[in-house]
Chains A and B, each alone.
Chain A
Amino acid sequence: MENIGALAILLAFCFAVYAIIGSLVGKWAKRPFLALSAQRAVYSVWALLTSAVGILLYSLIKGDYRMAYVWATSNHTMELQYKVAAWWGGQEGSLLLWSWLLATYSAIIVFQNRRKFRDMMPYVVGVLMFTQTFFLILNGFVASPFKMIAAGRGIVDIGDGQGLNPLLQYWTMVIHPPMLYLGYVGFIAPFAFAIASLATKQPGDEWIKTTRRWTLVTWMFQTTGVLLGMGWAYAVLGWGGYWGWDPVENASLLPWITATAFLHSVMMQEKKGMMKVWNMVLVSSTFFLCIFGTFLTRSGVVQSVHAFSEGPIGKYFVGFLAIGITLTVYLILSRLEYLKSESQMESVLSRESSFMFNNLILLAGCFAVLWGTLFPVITEAIMGEKISVDKPFFNRVNIPIGMFLLLLTGVGPLIAWRRSSFESLKRAFMWPALSGLFVSAALFAAGIRSFYALMSFGLCAFVLITVAIEFFKGARAISGKSGKNLLVSMFELTHRNTRRYGGYLVHVGIVILFVGFTGAAFNQDTTVELPQGGSMTLGAYTLKVVGFEEGENENYSWGRPKIAVTKYGEELPMMMPEQRFYFASQTPTHEIALRRRLNEDLYINYAGPGTNNSNVILQVYVNPLVSWVWIGYWVVLFGTIICLIPSKTKLVFPRTEVVGMTSKHAGKPAQVGTNENES
């Protein structure tokens, strides 16, 4: 079995290499059949990798502990879903997941576009398979999931495996890695088309139109992945928070930031023909940050909770990034002529400039996070001394960035294209601004003194009102003409331009997320050691230890104090945080007790027995508004899905477009407008 798996990976590697050579040579030597065979090779790579994955999954579920990977990540007592999740529970398997997802995406891309873009496709295939080859090198020669710890004759049985890390045995961990990877890997589609468009000297924006959906869907997966990671950290790690600016959390955030910037700045290119070079830079940086994120997670370059064993794979990633970035930069520089902007910024007060500032701020945030994450590496290289920075650094820089973004979220969509006067701004923003100020003032009067919290809540109100006005105005216009009621009209309005109104809904979701984040300004926590019958108070809650239970099952032993909770004297259900000790991996874990409410969460972690064994050490947190983070996510998801639904009416943006090039390098004229899949 394992030999077939290893062989499948080896063959996939050969096919991937063939696909690169076949498609590029086919293109340059004008042999369409060679290029076509390269496309078929892409399907073969997928089929081979799928078999390899099937074999790995079968071994995990069957429990073939002769295989090192199965032995390390699975055991008899694990439930089925965790045996499947063990696929991405370790280094080799998660790299295979990357590879397999890439192969799947590649096959879909090739299948979808096999009749379109005949001139671009060979390059698209080239980019896809170049990346695929890199990952197959890792799968096949560096971190093979099919290594054996026991091979040869006479071996009939190996005891039980180590089992999946208990921290990972939690439902969000089952789907967090695939979601994040779906997002990471998926960004290769816009990137591949961008590169192909550069390589074939396309003057138009075909690549953006073709990949708009891809970009949105992968963005959605990335958002989901990041949020699931936050949910996991909050519910499992037991430190009372969901975001610790850990290097690997940062790594997952970086491509998300540039992808968000890209989603916004492509609108400038579609509608105004501006920022073309910038979009190329953004799409490429997002792709490389995705690879970089995988690199950070896998190589142990920086200390982190996620740091897997330090292996030799780091240098392969560095090599791939170096080659990829060099080629991309060279390609962009050599095609600058084709990326000239078609119009210019006219005024500081304009939609264009708000897009530009949105990008500037997002990129500044991205840079700050990257800088902070790599600070130990940078200082060691420059000063010979490793210096690391911590949460306060990230918060200090990123909170103002967040505030400014929030402001732009409100301003951007309402400000006019080209130029806007103070008069029209006053008209558009008087009510939202007043409501924002009112909210801040009311909260100040209510006794809130945190500057950022006041600002954040004020801005949230401001954005919400601008969005509400937009919906209301549009709906009223429709209802005036059709006589339908406002609610139906709003539905109609959204359906007519899903991209715009779905986008507004995403903004609303982001606002709700910010409400949740801002709650962190009011977090309270304490650590106490309590004897049986002892009690303590935090915020509105009084906790009393009233008992202790312990026991064990085949997987782990557990102990949990029983805690009676009262809020303002009113009794709440008993809470029982738990400490477990897993036998197979010899590790303790903590199951927190959590009372989620819309206004605040009560979060109790049992850290273990105290100095004398009958005492318990409790960590207690009161986290206001955290639930809004998760609610905000669902709204973002809903808005994104609305964006993906085709609009009822096709919108045509009046704009001058470059249809051909007069330069001596120009290839054949572009086929602008031949592709009708824009929504």
Chain B
Amino acid sequence: MHKNIKFGLIIVVILGTLGWLAAGGISQTASYYKEIAELNKLAPSEKVDKRLRVGGDVELNSISREGRDVHFVLVQEKDGVKNRLNVVYSGIDPLPDTFKDNAPCQALVDGKLGSDNVFHATKLQAKCASKYEAKPVAPLTRG
């Protein structure tokens, strides 16, 4: 029995440490998916503390650069209402090539909502219809 207790203890210690690390990692980096409509209902304390993740369509021609910051507007339609969100991206990573506002494009931003209701994003992912697969448009036909 002695041997099994030893094995058990070591396993418990290893898994315990990893579990503790994982729990810490989750609370440190967790970010909450929200819809734009939900953002306006957040309590002020939540705005500052929580890392949020918001997705939506990039409004056409809304991207503008100001030094290293990139401003744009995300739009999400819910129950027939178009909710808009002003976003400032100031992350370290370069903007993905797929991020653009001259074509229908979706973006997913990570960051915090400021008290001025501008979303300060530190990470950005973008997905466009044409990225991997485009929807075929009406092809050219002749004759």
- CB < 8 Å: which of B22, B25, B139 contacts A159? B139
Q: What are 5 A-B interface contacts by the 8 Å CB criterion?
A: A345-B3, A348-B7, A391-B29, A396-B22, A400-B18
A-contact 0/1 string along B13-52, CB 8 Å cutoff: 0110110011011101111110000000000000000000
A299-319 residues at the B interface, CB under 8 angstroms: 303, 305, 307-309
What chain B residues lie within 8 Å of A605 (beta carbons)? 94
Residues 147 to 178 of chain A near chain B (Cβ within 8 Å): 149-150, 154-159, 162, 165-167
Q: Is the CB of A155 within 8 A of B142?
A: yes
Any A CB within 8 A of the CB of B98: yes
Q: Which of B29, B32, B131 has the most CB atoms of chain A within a 10 A radius of its CB?
A: B29
Cβ distance B134 to chain A, nearest Cβ, rounded Å: 5
With A307-B127, A610-B65 already in contact, the answer to whether A72 and B98 are too (CB < 8 A) is no
Distance A528 CA – B68 CA, assembled complex (angstroms): 7
List the B residue with the shortest CB-CB distance to A168.
Answer: B132
**Once bound together, how far apart are the Cα atoms of A6 and B14, in whole Å?**
53
B125 adjacent to chain A (CB < 8 Å): yes
Q: Is B80 an interface residue (CB 8 A)?
A: no
Contact with A along B78-98 (1 / 0, CB 8 A): 000000000000001111111
Number of A-B contacts (CB under 8 A): 156
- Residues of A near B143 (CB, < 8 A) are 154-156
Please tell me if A536 contacts chain B, counting CB pairs below 8 Å: no
CA distance A307 to B94 in the complex (A): 19
CA distance A586 to B95 in the complex (A): 16
A387 CB-CB contact with B under 8 Å:
yes
Interface residue stretch chosen among A196-204, A218-226, A281-289, A368-376: A368-376
Point out the residue from B22, B30, B110, B130 that lies within 8 Å of A371, measured CB to CB.
B22
Among residues of A, the one whose C-beta sits closest to the C-beta of B128 is A587
Chain A, 357-399, CB within 8 A of any chain B CB = 357, 360-361, 364, 368, 371, 375-376, 385-397
How far does the alpha carbon of A585 sit from the alpha carbon of B135 in the complex, in Å?
Answer: 12
Partner of A368, one of B22, B29, B30, B130: B22
Query: Beyond A345-B3, A396-B25, is A389–B133 a contact (Cβ under 8 Å)?
Result: no
Once A308-B133, A309-B132 are accepted as A-B contacts, the answer to whether A364 and B18 lie under 8 Å apart by CB is yes
Instruction: Give a binary string over B53-72; 1 marks a CB under 8 Å from any A CB, 0 the rest.
Output: 10100000000011110000
Instruction: Flag if A360 contacts B22 (CB, 8 Å).
Output: no
Residue of A nearest to B140 (CB): A159
Interface residues of A (CB under 8 A from B): 65-66, 68, 71-72, 89-91, 149-150, 154-159, 162, 165-167, 238-240, 303, 305, 307-309, 345-348, 353, 357, 360-361, 364, 368, 371, 375-376, 385-397, 400-401, 404, 525, 527-529, 585-590, 605, 607, 610-611, 617, 619
**Number of contact residues on B: which range applies?**
35 or more
Q: B118 at interface (Cβ–Cβ under 8 A)?
A: no
Taking a contact as CB atoms under 8 Å apart, the answer to whether B108 and A72 are in contact is no
Q: How far is the CA of A146 from the CA of B16 in the complex (A)?
A: 52
Residues on A with beta carbons closer than 8 Å to the beta carbon of B33:
376, 385-388
Taking a contact as CB atoms under 8 Å apart, the answer to whether B3 and A393 are in contact is no
Residues of B in contact with A (beta carbons under 8 Å apart): 3, 6-7, 10-11, 14-15, 17-18, 21-22, 24-26, 28-33, 53, 55, 65-68, 92-98, 100, 102-103, 108, 110, 123, 125, 127-128, 130-134, 136, 139-143
Chain A, residue nearest B6 (CB): A348
Whether the pair B22, A393 counts as a contact (CB closer than 8 A) is yes
Residues of A within 8 A of B97 (CB): 166-167, 587-590
Specify which of A305, A396, A610, A611 is in contact with B21 (CB 8 Å cutoff). A396
Known: A303-B127, A345-B7, A400-B18. 18 other contacts (CB 8 A): A65-B139, A66-B139, A149-B139, A156-B142, A165-B131, A348-B7, A357-B14, A375-B26, A393-B22, A396-B21, A397-B18, A397-B21, A525-B92, A590-B94, A610-B65, A611-B66, A611-B67, A619-B92
Give, as a whole number of angstroms, the nearest-CB distance from B101 to chain A.
12
Instruction: Output the least CB separation between B14 and chain A (Å).
Output: 7
B67 A397 Cβ-Cβ under 8 A: no
Task: Tell me whether A149 and B136 are in contact in the complex, defined as CB-CB below 8 angstroms, given that A303-B108, A610-B65 are known contacts.
Answer: yes
Cβ of B67 and Cβ of A610 under 8 Å apart?
yes
Establish whether residues B30 and A387, one from each chain, have CB atoms under 8 Å apart when the complex forms.
yes
The 8 closest A-B pairs by CB, nearest first: A393-B25, A386-B33, A396-B25, A390-B29, A607-B94, A159-B140, A392-B29, A149-B136
**CA distance in complex: A605, B132 (Å):** 23
State whether B3 touches A346 (Cβ < 8 A).
yes
Residue contact A72 to B7, C-beta cutoff 8 Å: no
Please, how many angstroms separate the alpha-carbon atoms of A68 and B137 in the complex? 10
> Once the chains are docked, how many angstroms separate the CA of A159 from the CA of B55?
35
A585-B103 Cα distance, complex, nearest whole Å:
11
Q: Are A157 and B142 in contact (CB-based, < 8 A)?
A: yes
Residue ID in chain B nearest A65 by CB atoms:
B139
Separation of A364 and B132 alpha carbons in the complex (Å): 34
